Structure 1
């Protein structure tokens, strides 16, 4: 996903295929009520709804995968940082190195500033994490 000028509609984004150099524009309606935590190298978007619900979106197919909530990944002492009035939310929850592992079925989310690395466990809606 490419950065857009401020005049762009809030749900329209440009995506670049780094292999071919082709650029396409897509409407991504999920951007109306989600924050983008990070794009992945695979072209997926890691989205956050209501600063709690983590979702993985393929903007080309509109497939949306619900992941465990952030409150199950974060220790209780960090839950206050999810509040709407937290001025540092964008830096605290900047996702670094998020993506799909080699087996195409494992997703990893890393919050570098908080020193947390997590991946959803397939057996339940919780995160397996390393702090």
Structure 2
């Protein structure tokens, strides 16, 4: 029995052709979240990660901030991988919040406000949800998914 059912839809119009993949996970073994080159700060294309793991499909899960000094890329959102809160989110997002203001030019104020709201929810402040507290304390159930 497979851990996942896949159905591919094709859309063809005179000026474009598109695809949509419907994924029905039968168990938590049907997917896996990975970082670029399997390390914080690593980067690779989604297709490279799919090939590396021998997967049938991949999803680019979010945005990244580039570190101009090192060339590394860090996830903008809170990242939990293997039950561990990502290092940039663990400090309340302060380092990334400062970096995002420096990186985004004209859109920086909007992005900075958005990230401040997000960082406040992921930090140690009272606004955290019960689930966030459980995940950060290691008592929550984290689903580790396999490709």
Larger Rg: 2
Instruction: Output the TM-score relative to the length of structure 1.
Output: 0.24
Instruction: Output the TM-score relative to the length of structure 2.
Output: 0.23
Whose RCO is larger (CA < 8 A, sep 6+)?
2
